[in-house]
Structure 1
Amino acid sequence: MLPEGWKYANLGEIISHRKGHPFKSNTYKNYGTRVIRISDTTSNSIHSLNPVFIENNGDENLDEFALKHGDIILTTVGSKPHLIDSMVGKAVRIPEEIDGALLNQNLVKLSPNDKFIISDILFLYLKSRNFISYISDLVRGNANQVSISLKDIFAYRVLLPPLPEQKKIAAILSTWDRAIEGTEKLLANSQQQKKALMQQLLTGKKRLPGFTGEWKPHTLSELAVMSSGGTPLSTQKAYFGGNIPWVSIADMTRCGKYISQTEKTLTKSGLDNSSAKLYPKNTVLYAMYASIGECSIASTELSCSQAILGIRTNSKLYFEYLYFYLSFLKEKIKLLGQTGTQSNLNAKMVKAFGINLPPLPEQKAIAAVLTTADEEITALESDLSRLRQEKKALMQQLLTGKRRVTVD
């Protein structure tokens, strides 16, 4: 039963649209008027990592393809559908800083008909789980590229509240948007402050109060024992499903700093019949393949794949200090990866890493400061996740009429 005053409409009945222009890539320059391509879009925004421009000399009237702040654009073609930022059907609003840019092909600008729907509500419908699910069921193509027709997009059915109720819904949800935006800024500031702290504390440029001891140069091989893990034969079911955690790089990226639970586990037989080995608690795990430089700490006894190096520090090096030091080196280490189908490290390279080491008490104090910074970041990430979930749940209720608002 429809909420009183609400009605269904096809998306194509309540908007107008403009397809992007087929700009030729051989005309792109590094100056002029910016062109917005599919590759410039992410799931929620437009990035400026590799912008392209055209020299608009007036030979061609391109005004109809110009974008302004707040415009809504939608991708109709996508690549690698398993990656969320490459999916077809992404809805993005044009930020103020790229006002005046031009829309490229395979993108479409959707403009609301203000007799039926306001811009904020249109955007919410395009970001809803229902619309994303609708798109995913209709895309066609292959593993490399997928697309959807405008006919299919415009056939999407929306449930429209009266305009006054739409405006009230948008105003309520904007409260969550402001809270989310504020938390995002706090999180970005905390992450930047931690980065600055690491730069100062892990290089000795800034000393914590009370520490004056000499820092001494070492190679990592002088301070730790290192060995890579292994993988039992996947065809042997008896090797898997035991009580020994087996860390993959995916586990590291999912769990972050500390790891105790893993997606896969080994039996004692799997451990004995492979090059996998047990690492004690507080072993630093270091990714050598794919996501090189990714770093975690074992918070229980565990094993790992051959893509990961287990680093067991001696009495001169505090394991948590090493974790932060390797995390600090991450971007630099990526450049050391061997060229090939993917960048890799090996144990010999890691053993040769240089490290200027403060006395052990200072290492522990530095690690404590950076751990506090991590805890602040984790708390803000939790707040941000909660706010996004609250907005999503409220949006689901308000846009379906399950929860009505009072219009003044």
Structure 2
Amino acid sequence: MVPNSWVSCHLGDFMEFKNGLNADKSQYGYGLKFVNVMDVFGNDILTEDKIIGRVNVAESQLESNLLKFGDVLFNRTSETFDEIAMSAVYLDDKPAVFGGFVIRARPGKGILTPAYSVYLFQSSKFRNQVIKLGQGAVRANIGQKDLAKVKVSIPPLPEQKKIAQILSTWDKAITTTEQLLANSQQQKKALMQQLLTGKKRLLDDNGIRFSGKWKKVKLGSVADMNSGGTPKSSVEEYYGGDIPWVSIADMTKHGKWIVSTEKYLTPIGLENSSARIYPKNTILYAMYASIGECSIAKVPLSSSQAILGIRPKDSLDFEYLYFFLSSLKEKMKLQGQQGTQSNLNAGMVKDFTIILPSVEEQQNIAAVLSSADQEIDSLQQKIEALKQEKKALMQQLLTGKRRIQIN
């Protein structure tokens, strides 16, 4: 039930809609800031300094396409229905215009507080409605007429302002934690560059700094490796057993440690493919698609042929190898993007040059970097918790289920 003091209405009852400019290619690159689809995907606040594109607008088109403080911008089209009518509220007084794949919605005066509209159009109630109204076979689309049908419940202006103030404190906490996360990730990156090259040496268990030369070796000389295999998906008997079978999707989902997988093989499935059992602490290394992605098997498991299972010998610590391969990830991705070598193979990975200190120093380096990982994981979990708290609070405040005291 909507509270008595709230107004329940359709967007078309209080908003004026307009599609943006369809500019010629020659007009791009200079002139006024130009809002396009990607600028509104943040589903958040938009200011002039966040807008990248520019367009030169004819004088006759300028007035009708200018943005005003409090205008709401929706994207008209996307690859998926989940991403249509993503919004950005323009909270700036500087001049900017908007593109043809964007719909501008201008609220009537005294109806919607701009700060409140940021949250109104992020709400699950609004998102669920627009997703259902989307149309299209190849691409998802939504037009002005469908947006006008969306029903919203609007509290009085003082309550809108108070709700926006409360929710903005969660946004500030999320932004602050995201900045701490970015700093921690940058610090870990710098630490990896120093520790994995020997530029910075740690102290041993007796408090004495490690010394001595590092050995330069080929990875193939200090580790055994084989790729996995995929049993025929059409044979039901090959799947549904208790042997974890890792895909690259499992690696990107779980990150450093793999304990469980989406698919499991039966013993007969394992026998009828080139898949094999990798022991615990095997390094899993992606050779196709997400090349350079790296994980560690926390339990015995098998994998697809896109993944190389690397088993370090006695002179190489498995976690040190994980961090070494992780440090190459950006280089590998760039290599794939440039088309130099879109895939890797076992022979190429065996030929990687790795520099090795003593096993004790390797383990100390791995421990320091693991500690940095734990800090990063903790911050990521905190961000996720804050987002969930904000989502739950929005659900209560934006529906009137939870009321707030207005002084």
What's the TM-score, normalizing by structure 1?
Answer: 0.90
Moved more, 220-229 or 12-21: 12-21
2:353 aligned partner:
354
> SS at the partner of 1:309?
strand
Q: Which amino acid aligns with 2:129?
A: Y
Is 1:158 the counterpart of 2:152 in the alignment?
yes
Distance in 1 (alpha carbons) for counterparts of 2:184 and 2:264? 35
Q: Post-superposition shift, 1:101?
A: 3.9
Is 1:92 the counterpart of 2:88 in the alignment?
yes
Distance in 2 (alpha carbons) for counterparts of 1:137 and 1:338? 36
Moved more, 366-375 or 40-49: 40-49
Is 1:388 the counterpart of 2:387 in the alignment?
yes
Moved more, 201-210 or 158-167: 201-210
Q: Percent identity?
A: 50
Q: Which amino acid aligns with 1:53?
A: R
Distance in 1 (alpha carbons) for counterparts of 2:187 and 2:90? 29
> SS at the partner of 1:152?
helix
**RMSD of aligned C-alpha atoms?**
2.6
Moved more, 350-359 or 238-247: 350-359
1:262 aligned partner:
261
Contact 2:185 2:376 in 1 (8 A): yes
2:246 aligned partner:
247
2:165 aligned partner:
171
Deviations 1:46-87 (A, max 9, x none): 89999543356x666535434467753210111x217x6xx2
Distance in 2 (alpha carbons) for counterparts of 1:365 and 1:151? 63
2:206 aligned partner:
none
Query: Which one of the candidate residues 81, 96, 102 is aligned to 2:97?
Result: 102
Q: Post-superposition shift, 1:172?
A: 1.3
Contact 1:75 1:90 in 2 (8 A): yes
Q: Post-superposition shift, 1:196?
A: 1.3
Q: Post-superposition shift, 1:213?
A: 2.0
Distance in 1 (alpha carbons) for counterparts of 2:289 and 2:34? 32
1:62 aligned partner:
62
Distance in 1 (alpha carbons) for counterparts of 2:56 and 2:7? 46
Q: Post-superposition shift, 1:183?
A: 1.0
Distance in 2 (alpha carbons) for counterparts of 1:247 and 1:126? 39
2:316 aligned partner:
317
Q: Post-superposition shift, 1:206?
A: 1.9
> SS at the partner of 1:181?
helix
Distance in 2 (alpha carbons) for counterparts of 1:155 and 1:92? 19
Query: Which one of the candidate residues 118, 122, 140 is aligned to 1:123?
Result: 118
Evaluate the alpha carbon distance shift between residue 40 and residue 162 of structure 1 in structure 2; reply closer, same or farther with a 3 A threshold.
closer
Q: Which amino acid aligns with 2:55?
A: I
> SS at the partner of 2:213?
coil
Distance in 2 (alpha carbons) for counterparts of 1:67 and 1:203? 52
Distance in 2 (alpha carbons) for counterparts of 1:227 and 1:95? 56
Contact 2:227 2:306 in 1 (8 A): yes
> SS at the partner of 1:356?
strand
Is 1:19 the counterpart of 2:19 in the alignment?
yes
Q: Post-superposition shift, 1:265?
A: 0.2
Evaluate the alpha carbon distance shift between residue 70 and residue 192 of structure 1 in structure 2; reply closer, same or farther with a 3 A threshold.
farther
* Number of aligned positions between the proteins: 400
1:233 aligned partner:
232
Q: Which amino acid aligns with 2:215?
A: K
Q: Post-superposition shift, 1:25?
A: 2.8
Is 1:183 the counterpart of 2:177 in the alignment?
yes
> Which residues in structure 2 correspond to 1:275-294 (within 5 Å)?
275-294=274-293
Q: Which amino acid aligns with 2:263?
A: K
> Which residues in structure 2 correspond to 1:303-314 (within 5 Å)?
303-314=302-313
Distance in 2 (alpha carbons) for counterparts of 1:6 and 1:362? 66
Q: Post-superposition shift, 1:43?
A: 4.0
What's the TM-score, normalizing by structure 2?
Answer: 0.91
Note the residue ranges of structure 1 that are not aligned, 5 or more in a row.
Answer: none
Distance in 2 (alpha carbons) for counterparts of 1:254 and 1:285? 14
Deviations 1:320-372 (A, max 9, x none): 111111111111112333977x9321112111111122221111111111111
Distance in 2 (alpha carbons) for counterparts of 1:334 and 1:269? 36
Moved more, 13-22 or 98-107: 98-107
Evaluate the alpha carbon distance shift between residue 170 and residue 265 of structure 1 in structure 2; reply closer, same or farther with a 3 A threshold.
same
Distance in 2 (alpha carbons) for counterparts of 1:185 and 1:95? 22
2:128 aligned partner:
133
Contact 1:245 1:302 in 2 (8 A): yes
Evaluate the alpha carbon distance shift between residue 206 and residue 95 of structure 1 in structure 2; reply closer, same or farther with a 3 A threshold.
farther
